[in-house]
Amino acid sequence: MNKKIATPTVTRKILADYQIKLSKSLGQNFLIDGNIIDKIVNIAGIEQGDQVIEIGPGIGSLTQVLLEKIDGSLFAIEKDARMVGVLEELFQDEKLKLIHRDVLDINWPEFFNQHDLINKRVKVIANLPYYITTPIIMALLEARVPVQSYVFMVQKEVAERMVAKPGGKDYGALSIAVQYYTRPEIAHIVPPTVFIPQPDVYSAIIKLETYKEAPVHLEDEGFFFQIVQAIFQQRRKNLKNSLSKAANMKLDKGLVEKCLKDLGFKEGIRGEALNLDQIAELANLIYKRMGDKVN
Ligand code: SAM
């Protein structure tokens, strides 16, 4: 394919030629603006030897530019068989490894082993299907696979939640998880007009740079994330109540109260006011004292 796919004319022609009607339920909003594609690729900062994973290539508007830029492999994971058919015909490039699968079914550590990606520099780049943005990102982060950075097109509101700091309505479990594993930065706000069909929302290009070392020390990562869940599931409650009433944890109210007091938190403070360091400190103290009680 020599012509740029990311134009309204070429995209419409490919869809007409293959008699494809785009599916709303698969989040198929295709990019038709080459400048935005270039922005995504530039923000990703492709270097020699990079291996790239693209989620949801569609008819290949971003794939095409990525293939021009990389010298490693491009693993493109697509659920819709119709798109896989188009990509197979449009691209004859050995660097492109097409994978016809639901991305949510992928076991990432296995995937990295199978494709010999463990000791390579890997970047994940995608215009994500918005209906599963959070599960895709959380599965990748929690798998702790060695990805150097992620560049995603996501709904603007979701990007704002990922970078949110304590105090506002956007701050929640997603902010904590993303900021524990990575340094997130919104790089560009994108209007609906650069997609076919146009989504109802604004979008944002976000870059997540993975930390080599976690920004906070955790005694137990699983326990920390249970605390995070407890805090934000009942975010209107004060910290003492949200923690001691969290169904998933069965924490002793006296122990929680003592920990909060010893860390100098004000009576009645809500969990949503705490930053990542403070939540980590609190989770670590409760975890240690629970251990002391058992032993
Ligand atoms: N990359 C193309 C572009 O920028 O124009 C298409 C992006 S479109 C927003 C999202 C793509 O993800 C679609 O091609 C859709 O078929 C694919 N997709 C949706 N759900 C998926 C899933 N569960 N697993 C893999 N791909 C999926």
Sign of the Cα pseudo-torsion (54, 60, 61, 65, in order): positive
Residue with the nearest Cα to atom 20 of ligand 1? 26
Q: Are 112 and 144 in contact (CB under 8 A)?
A: no
Q: Structure tokens of 168?
A: 């506002």
**How high is the pLDDT of residue 294?**
57
Complete domains list, the chain, with CATH: 8-210 (3.40.50.150), 221-294 (1.10.8.100)
CA of 71 to the centre of ligand 1 (A): 23
**How high is the pLDDT of residue 93?**
96
Q: Which residues pair with 207 in a beta bridge?
A: 151, 185
CA of 80 to the centre of ligand 1 (A): 8
Collapsing DSSP states into helix, strand and coil, what is residue 207?
strand
Pocket of ligand 1 (CB under 6 A): 26-31, 56-58, 61-62, 77-80, 83, 102-104, 127, 129, 132
**How high is the pLDDT of residue 264?**
95
Q: Are 31 and 61 in contact (CB under 8 A)?
A: yes
What residues contact residue 132 under an 8 Å CB cut-off, 6+ apart? 27, 103, 104
CA of 216 to the centre of ligand 1 (A): 34
pTM: 0.94
Mean pLDDT in runs of 10 for the chain (295 residues)? Answer: 93 98 97 98 97 98 98 98 98 97 98 96 98 97 96 98 94 96 98 97 98 94 94 87 83 91 91 94 94 67
> Which of 105, 203, 97 lies closest to 160, judged by CA?
203
**How high is the pLDDT of residue 249?**
80
Residue with the nearest Cα to atom 21 of ligand 1? 79
The CA distance from 167 to 179, in Å, is 15
Q: Are 58 and 32 in contact (CB under 8 A)?
A: no
Collapsing DSSP states into helix, strand and coil, what is residue 31?
strand
The CA distance from 117 to 112, in Å, is 5
The CA distance from 106 to 97, in Å, is 15
The CA distance from 153 to 2, in Å, is 25
